[in-house]
Amino acid sequence: MRISILGLGNVGGALAKGWSATKHELYAGVRSPATTQAPLPGLKIGSISEACHQADIFVLSIPWNGVPAVLEQTGDISGKILVDCCNPLKEDLIRCASKYNSFYL
């Protein structure tokens, strides 16, 4: 299977590391593909759009406040599977950013 991970932070990096031990083809979509080095052998780096179009399934693993901008960059993702690993947290990583929840963690 061809898997793209959008974002290589804590969550995306951990997923990439785990999946690198499999026979899946791995891609990473990042903001600055020209200046981002692959942290793992075999991981291909590209733009958000490139990564989405290379894969059968893609994983959204970016900060909550970046979701709208990243989804605008995916292009047509019809027929693709999206796995959302985002948590709706504000930048302080303490408060929930969703208007439906206003609790503290």
Question: Would you write out the chain's pLDDT as a tens digit for each of its 105 residues?
Answer: 999 999 998 899 999 999 999 999 999 999 999 999 898 998 999 999 999 999 999 999 998 888 889 999 998 989 999 999 887 777 776 667 666 554 443
Q: Across the strands, what pairs with 89?
A: 96
**Which domains does the chain possess?**
2-84 (3.40.50.720)
Q: What is the pLDDT of residue 25?
A: 95
* Residue 56, token pair as written in the block: 């059968």
Q: What is the pLDDT of residue 87?
A: 77
Q: What is the pLDDT of residue 88?
A: 78
- 52 close to 30: Cβ distance less than 8 angstroms: no
Q: Give me the DSSP letters along 27-58.
A: EEE-S-GGGPPPSSTT-EEE-HHHHHHH-SEE
Q: What is the pLDDT of residue 103?
A: 44
* Phi, psi (degrees; rounded to nearest 5) at 20: -65, -20
Beta-carbon neighbour count of residue 69 at 10 Å? 11
Q: What is the pLDDT of residue 100?
A: 52
